[in-house]
Amino acid sequence: MTISIMQIREMKEIGVKSAALVVWDAPSAHIAHECGADFLIVGDSVGVNLWGHSNNLEITLDDFLVAVKAVRRGAPDSLVCADIPYGPVQIDPTEAVRAAIRLVQEGGADLVKIDAAPDFPEAVTAVTRAGVPVFAQMGLSPQSGSKYGISIGDLQQPESLVPDEMMEQLIQEARICEQAGAAMIDLTNAGPVIGEAITDAVSVPVIGGMGGGPWLDGRIRMFHAAIGYGTKFLDNSPSAYAYTAQTSRDAVTELLGDIRSGKQIKGGLGRK
């Protein structure tokens, strides 16, 4: 079942939490949609988490479209949001519109996410006027953390939160996003005090990942983080719903052992 942005806004009005998953490939998208995620986000974090990039700013629009297309193929009936990678928004609103149109026309996205949106309200307005809904990201994020003195690497740490004394500034930034035409706000690393205040201050849904909680209108979680898939999960016990990386390592180790000992591998028999 496909949910609309309007339905997500109605969920805020009646106090029902929305749930989104960040996915980067067709199988993950298919599973997330089948499980009932309200919408899917194709994040530019794919570069760091799957492609070996050192930070989120390295990925190009052409590179990123590969992931967007894969997610759309995996979840053809889902509401899909795609990040606009670093570059077009920073150049000018016209470039932001061009990037948004490519993500919709070529990638199959339904809406786009603009990072550091309070710094680029003209881009939010221009993309919205072009007919592409905007998920406005604000708070501490890869493209905005530097102005708060936070490095990209530190953004994943639980203590990386916007100071509570910046509440009024963040509320004003949220209102800037709403007035610019944002359909929803992605609030990152704001914590419970600022997070709840912003959620109450604007009429659009405020949904967040890192630094979020039940005080927001909804939550975002990376699919791979939820299932514990990634090298950082191999030797740690993170707070996840599964530990797929560890299971994968055990399975591959057993597979290689079977091959080297002359055993038939599981699932390796051909069909008659």
- Delimit the domains of the chain by residue range: 5-226, 238-272
In this prediction, residue 147 carries a pLDDT of 63
Contact 96, 127 (CB under 8 A): yes
In this prediction, residue 101 carries a pLDDT of 98
Cα 272 off chain centre by:
44
Backbone angles phi, psi at 73, to 5 degrees: -65, -40
In this prediction, residue 148 carries a pLDDT of 59
- Say how far apart CA 217 and CA 17 lie, in whole Å: 5
Q: Which fold has domain 5-226?
A: TIM Barrel (3.20.20)
- Alpha-carbon Rg for the chain, nearest whole angstrom, is 20
Measure the CA angle with vertex 238, ends 74 and 141; round to 5°: 65
In this prediction, residue 267 carries a pLDDT of 86
In this prediction, residue 1 carries a pLDDT of 59
One pLDDT digit (tens) per residue for the chain, 272 residues: 579 999 999 999 999 999 999 999 999 999 999 999 999 999 999 999 889 898 888 999 999 999 999 999 999 999 999 999 999 999 999 999 999 999 999 999 999 999 999 999 999 999 999 999 999 999 977 656 556 565 555 555 555 677 778 899 999 999 999 999 999 999 998 889 999 999 999 999 999 988 899 999 999 999 999 999 988 788 776 678 998 999 999 999 999 999 999 999 998 765 54
In this prediction, residue 227 carries a pLDDT of 93
Report the candidate in 204, 75, 208 with the shortest Cα–Cα distance to residue 134.
204
> What's this model's pTM, rounded to 2 decimal places?
0.90
Provide the residue type at 102 as one letter. R
